[in-house]
Amino acid sequence: MAIILPGTAVGIRARDGVVLATDKRVTYEGFVLSRMAKKVHPVTSRCGVAFAGLMGDIGYLTRLLKLEAKMYELEFGREIKTRSLAKVLSVILYSYKLFPMFTEVIVGGYDEAPALYILDPVGSLIEEKYAAVGSGHQLAIGYIEPRYKEDISLEEAEQLAIGAIKTVIERDVLTGDGVDILVFTREGYREKEYLFKTTRE
């Protein structure tokens, strides 16, 4: 039986940038523990990560990647590139293959061009144009695939990512409460947050 990693994250490569998006819900054994969790993080000014899975593993990997990126910058005098960051994460995840992290990761950023990579819990690394991970990945891919086009603009990609997460929220109890967006362009990154009303006032 496959392990279901709670939450949903999506990544979309556009012609002038990359969009990463996640939901905000944290669940454990059928209970909602938080409606304000952050599962998408910038690592440098040009690349970041989006997760689905256990928050402990997400926090650990985020701190470790920021440390590795800072060490790279101090040693080489420039920020680590997106593909290099994805390879570092692949090595880290593979080193835990006997006791894997309960998380799947999307790495995205902008170097000379937009780049997007997906990693499974044991570090398999695949470059993609769009990706979804977590408990709602099938619903998210089903939403994105027919709407994606090669020359999609950044604004269209952002709306596509939001629409995918909203669609998952309607059907997946492990995903919910809002969307965090991280957008990378040549100029750097910006973050957005959308909260969804889930209870009556």
Where do the domains of the chain lie, and which CATH numbers do they carry?
Answer: 15-187 (3.60.20.10)
Cβ neighbours for 134, distance < 8 A, ≥ 6 positions apart: 5, 6, 7, 8, 9, 52, 53, 104, 174, 175
pTM: 0.93
Quickly state the pLDDT bin for 185 (edges 50, 70, 90).
Answer: very high
Per-residue pLDDT tens for 83-102?
999 999 999 999 999 999 99
Mean pLDDT (whole number) for 179-188: 96
Task: Tell me how far apart the 2 most distant CA atoms of the chain are, in Å.
Answer: 54
Whether residue 1 is predicted with pLDDT greater than 50 in this model: the reply is: no
Residue 13, H or E segment: strand 8-14
Reported confidence tier of residue 64, pLDDT bands at 50, 70, 90: very high
Does the active-site annotation cover 8?
A: yes
Residue 31 has pLDDT above 90, yes or no: no
- Name the pLDDT band for 33 (thresholds 50, 70, 90): confident
Q: What integer is the mean pLDDT of 150-155?
A: 95
Catalytic residue among 8, 22, 62, 103: 8
Residue range 116-137, pLDDT digits in tens: 999 999 999 999 999 999 999 9
Using the structure block, give the residue that is written with the tokens 């994250």.
Answer: 9
Comparing 31 with 23, the larger pLDDT belongs to 23
pLDDT digits (tens, 9 = 90+) for 99-121: 999 999 999 999 999 999 999 99
- The model's confidence at residue 198, banded by pLDDT at 50, 70 and 90, is low
Residue with tokens 């604004």: 155
**Using CA atoms, how far apart are residues 149 and 16, in angstroms rounded to an integer?**
13
